[in-house]
Amino acid sequence: MSVENYTRLVGQQARQASSVMMTATTAQKNAALEHIAQALMANQATLQAENQKDLVAGRDNGLTDAMLDRLALNPERIAGMVEGLRQVAALQDPVGAINGMDYRPSGIQVGKMRVPLGVIGIIYESRPNVTIEAAALCMKSGNAAILRGGSEAIHSNQALAACVQAGLAAAGLPEHAVQVIDKTDRSIVGELIRMPEYVDVLVPRGGKGLIERIANDARVPVIKHLDGICHVYVDVEADLAKAQSIAVNAKTHRYGVCNAMETLLVHSAVAVQLLPLLAQDYAEKGVELRGCAATQAIIDCLPASPEDWDTEYLAPILAIRVVNSMTEAMAHINTHGSHHTDAIVTENYTRARRFLAAVDSSSVMVNASTRFADGFEYGLGAEIGISTDKIHARGPVGLLGLTSEKYVVFGDGHIRQ
């Protein structure tokens, strides 16, 4: 079968399965999740043996140690997937909830019902546990899923897919509700992203390059997660103890994550007091500092170049800029940021409100670390990704982001006059 025909067949099967998943009961979906969890536990040996094939091939193909680590399925990671499935089963089922059934002057009663999107395509790279996370979230939200993992994880993903199929079958749900692509042809992605008749939305998970390529070529809506250039602005009326701990936490809690601070903006009136304290903290953590001229006049650091303001380091490097007003800080954030997560540290009520309204980012915070921008921290239970888009869903995307709302109208024989 040609790649095109194969991909279209997968799409048709997903579309058919989605009409069953749309009305599957919460009990059925939770039963399937539990059966998958049990299948993972029962098949640990197989999963590890198949994973071993990927690890051997990966080593032969020159994958780095970090990549091999992400690829590995050890007993702790399998336990983590089992735990994740049970967490998703415990989440409230969003499907079918009806809200705001208000009467209109005509006499009809109108509200909205939460419904699945239909078929979700997920394109991801090495970590095989994404297969289980994505399958669980799509199933619980009543969607069918087409999962396309990296070729380096093909054996692991197929072994995981067998567990998912077994769980779906045991719960009486269609096996095509979750399909894991079993071919490694790169052209499958090209087909998958151009089938709006079979795929309702794409969620690419991986590097910025992959996501930009997909967004550029797709004919299907894409929930994108591009870069995270996050800021903390320390206001003239900041509590400097809070500012210090937030600035340290936002930068140093973890470096390689999208919600880490990349640029610190400090009001000139507090910079002389705050920056030396922070410089000492960052020095202890081994963070390289790159400052504007005003920063360099206060602390010892490298000079920041214009490129620094637009860079997502994902590393122990921090750009620092002294600003003369909150307006200047907000202009910097809206110009150089990536509209991901930005925080203000201030005790001033009016400026906190203004910052919240005027900073155009998916998460805006007052007196809290940017590191909180996360599906688990926000109480979504789990996240399929973090959206830096503006339409449909912004910020961490959980079950609700995989649903939409349709209008429901109740009448009693009402006709339009």
Find residue 113's DSSP bridge partners: 98, 406
Nearer to a second copy, 19 or 74 (CB): 19
Nearer to a second copy, 143 or 179 (CB): 143
Cα–Cα distances in angstroms (integers) from residue 216 to residues 44, 192, 199, 224, 280, in the given order = 39, 14, 16, 11, 44
CB of 280 to a second copy, least distance (A): 17
Nearer to a second copy, 212 or 300 (CB): 212
Find residue 266's DSSP bridge partners: 234, 322
Nearer to a second copy, 163 or 211 (CB): 211
CB of 115 to a second copy, least distance (A): 7
CA distance 211 to 206: 7
* Spatial CB neighbours of 130, under 8 Å, sequence gap ≥ 6: 122, 124, 149, 205
CA distance 322 to 269: 9
Sign of torsion, CA 335 337 338 342?
negative
CB of 216 to a second copy, least distance (A): 7
Q: Which of 156, 185, 172 is nearest to 70 (CA)?
A: 156
Nearer to a second copy, 297 or 356 (CB): 356
CB of 170 to a second copy, least distance (A): 24
CA distance 16 to 146: 13
Nearer to a second copy, 62 or 100 (CB): 100
CA distance 269 to 176: 61
CA distance 91 to 193: 30
CB of 221 to a second copy, least distance (A): 5
CB of 143 to a second copy, least distance (A): 10
Cα-based torsion angle of the residue sequence 351, 355, 357, 358 in order, rounded to the nearest 10 degrees:
120
CB of 274 to a second copy, least distance (A): 14
Nearer to a second copy, 31 or 345 (CB): 345
Cα three-residue angle 73-76-82, rounded to 5 degrees = 90
